[in-house]
Amino acid sequence: MRPSPPLVMGAPHPYRRLPPQRFWRHAAREAAEGVPDPVTPPDFRIGPDDAVATAGSCFAQHIAAHLKAGGFNLLVTETDAGAVEAPFSALYGNVYTARQMLQLARRAHGLWRPGEQAWRRPDGRWVDPFRPQLFPAGFETPEAVASARLSHLAAVERLLAEARVLVLTLGLTEAWLAPCGAALPVPPGVLGIEEGAGEARFHNFTFEEVVADLDALMEELLEDNPGLRVILTVSPVPLVATYEARHVLESNTLSKAVLRAAAGRAADRHAAVTYFPSFEMVTSPLAPADAFAADRRSVSDAMVGRVMGVFSRHFLAERGSLPNAPAAPSAAPDITPEQEAAFRARSSILCDEERLDPS
């Protein structure tokens, strides 16, 4: 039996002088009074004239909408009357994985051209594989898809060059890769694609792969835009489905843990990167009871408002007091499927991932 280390008499308690926010009891008191504020103060503030771009998973659209409502300069380099009305800085739709964002940047800079070019839907219309639901009417020909893509990638290139701040929300590690290696927002089979698609394969990105993709992304973005600041977040929205042979709860925990750890590693390695803990605020045991909507997956409007209130407190300078979060109801009302569908229609949030659930 190994002997215990000797006691050092009179040694100071190493935690005694730490600030209150380092202790759970302090966080619990914050939760009793409202919402805990777990943000490590950043070394910069977003001014009212600083161009802010957002990208990432479905939750990124909430951030974009609230920045715009707060009177800040949400950078938008591309609009189209035929696209779904949702708050995107450019019309790229959902960008779920770090690999997908890295490839988008490389496509915009003319450094990579994927083999997937256009998919034909069962109705005969064609869609862009990387934003398959953004244009509900689709396109008449593959050539029309290619033409729209040229202007789209030019808009993304301008966005990456002009943005003062990029808020990037990491959503998934599970992905489907085309034969050329392109990371797709959804596999072609969930849309009933009939032509133009290769045989996609499932891939679950590891911690090492996500870290490598984020490292490459930051290096390439900063090479073209040295003054850019990147705020990384992890989406608190759970996986709608998992392709792994295990319960969705287990896959969701692993996926979010990988993304959170990779975001932390990126913030440690790159001075231009800051982490914003929206994931922790929504999913921790200290989160309010109404943090999620009735489906236990969508983040409630009230919780989004609280998260953005904390974001505003730490990141926004001068003008830009975001709207107050709605008061939490005393009891959760019964919500019918029709009411929930109507709410989603009003919310204008595009979420390709929902097509993974056939029901």
Give 284-312 pLDDT, tens digit per residue. Answer: 999 999 999 999 998 998 998 899 999 98
Pair 307, 282: CB distance under 8 Å: yes
Provide the 8-state DSSP code for 125: -
In the predicted structure, residue 239 carries a pLDDT above the cut 90: yes
What is the pLDDT, as a whole number, of residue 357?
A: 83
Task: Tell which wins on pLDDT, 90 or 65.
Answer: 90
Q: What is the mean pLDDT of the chain?
A: 89
Mean pLDDT of 197-205: 97
SS3 content of the chain, % helix, strand, coil (to 5): 40, 10, 50
Number of folded domains that form the chain: 1
State the pLDDT at residue 70.
77
Q: 3-state DSSP call for residue 226?
A: coil
Banded pLDDT at 92 (limits 50, 70, 90): very high
The pLDDT confidence band at residue 126, using thresholds 50, 70 and 90, is very high
Q: Which residue has the higher pLDDT, 72 or 273?
A: 273
Q: Is there a contact between 168 and 213 (Cβ–Cβ < 8 Å)?
A: no
Query: Is residue 343 domain-resident?
Result: no
Residue scoring higher pLDDT (85 or 229): 229
The tens digit of pLDDT for each residue in 322-346 reads 444 333 333 333 434 443 443 344 3
Q: Is residue 25 situated within a structural domain?
A: no
Only one residue has tokens 């619990």, namely: 28
76 has a pLDDT exceeding 50 = yes
Query: Is residue 314 predicted with pLDDT exceeding 70?
Result: yes
Task: Report the distance separating Cα 198 and Cα 164, nearest Å.
Answer: 37
Residue 296: inside a domain: yes
Range of the structural domain that residue 196 is part of: 45-325+349-354
Residue 68 lies in a domain: yes
> Is 344 part of any domain?
no
Q: Is residue 166 part of a domain?
A: yes
Residue 330 lies in a domain: no
Assess contact for 164 and 227: CB atoms under 8 A: yes
The amino acid at 88: F
Residue 10 has pLDDT above 80, yes or no: no
d(CA 34, CA 358): 38
* Measured distance CA(259)–CA(283) in Å, rounded: 14
Alpha carbons 87 and 335: distance in angstroms, whole number: 26
1, part of any domain: no
Predicted local confidence at residue 68, as pLDDT: 82
